[in-house]
Amino acid sequence: MDEVARNAAAPDEADEHLIREAEKIAVALGRMFPGLCEVVLHDLRDPQHAIRAIENNLSGRRVGDSATELGLARIEDPDYPSVIQNYPNQFPDGRPAKSTSIGIKNAAGQYIAALCLNLDVSVLSPVTLALSNLVATEAEHREQPLETLRDRNARELRRAVEAHAAERAATPRSLSREDKKDLVRQLQRDGYFDSRDAAQTIADLLGVSRATVYNYAK
Q: Is residue 4's pLDDT more than 50?
A: no
Distance of CA 149 to the CA centre of its chain: 6
Task: Give tens-digit pLDDT for 155-213.
Answer: 788 888 888 888 888 888 988 999 999 999 988 888 877 776 788 888 888 999 988 98
Task: Give tens-digit pLDDT for 66-94.
Answer: 999 999 999 999 999 999 999 999 998 88
Beta strands, E only, 56-161: 83-90, 96-105, 111-120
The confidence score (pLDDT) of residue 119 equals 94
Task: Give tens-digit pLDDT for 103-157.
Answer: 999 999 999 999 999 999 887 666 555 556 665 666 666 566 667 665 567 778 8
- Mean pLDDT, residues 48-70 taken together: 93
- Exposed, middle or buried: residue 125 (CB in 10 Å: 0-12, 13-18, 19+)? exposed
Beta bridge partner(s), residue 51: 42
Closest CA to 199 of 212, 186, 180: 212
What residue type is assigned to position 121 of the chain? V
Q: Is 83 helix (H, G, I), strand (E, B) or coil?
A: strand
Q: What is the pTM of this model?
A: 0.61
